[in-house]
Amino acid sequence: MKRTIPVLLLATLCISTALATTYVRVEKDGTKTYSDRPIPGGTAIDLEPAQGYSAPPASPSAPAGAPLMQDSDNFTYQSCGVTPPNDSTFNNPEVVPISVVTAPALRPLDTVILTVDGQSVGQPGITSYTMNQPVRGTHTVAVTIKNRYGRMLCTVISSFHVMRPSLNSPGRR
């Protein structure tokens, strides 16, 4: 009961506002003054409802590119990999070569996004990258391959470790 009264008051307010008459008065300089109350020299007007939009019915025929899109949606790479392999360790390297390997070979319109430690490297589409003077620690390589419609075809993540012996313990190599 306590909830019913506020709901009824709100509904009455909304209905009365929707059914309110609008008045307009044209001033000497040509500007118009609108009001929801009668104003001297004003006239009541009927306002048209706000213009809406209805979407046209969907066409039953498929667009011309639909078979091509369906074919591309069915494609998958049999294997997708990245070198260096996961958990590889490099001792004091000058460079670490990183490359993407797919089977079958990478299709011309597919896009490769290669990131190292969360940062995109090179142009989209590159399949190899050389990391110069990598700092010690663990590095993560991520590869994502998408088709021309943006559908993800392959994702690979690999981590490798770089060890740099310090001068304080030269025996640890």
What percentage of the chain has pLDDT greater than the value 90?
33
For 114-155, write each residue's pLDDT tens digit.
999 999 888 878 889 999 999 999 999 999 999 888 889 999
Topology (CATH level 3) of domain 71-163: Immunoglobulin-like (2.60.40)
Across residues 18-29, what is the average pLDDT? 82
* pTM score: 0.55
Q: What is the percentage of the chain residues whose pLDDT exceeds 70? A: 76
Per residue, the 3-state secondary structure of the chain, as one string, reads CCCHHHHHHHHHHHHHHHCCCEEEEECCCCCEEEECCCCCCCEEECCCCCCCCCCCCCCCCCCCCHHHHHHHHHCCCCEEEEECCCCEEEECCCEEEEEEEEECCCCCCCEEEEEECCEECCCCCCCEEEEECCCCEEEEEEEEEECCCCCEEEEEEEEEEEECCCCCCCCCC
Where along the chain do its domains lie?
Answer: 4-45, 71-163
Compare 121 and 171 and report the one with higher pLDDT.
121
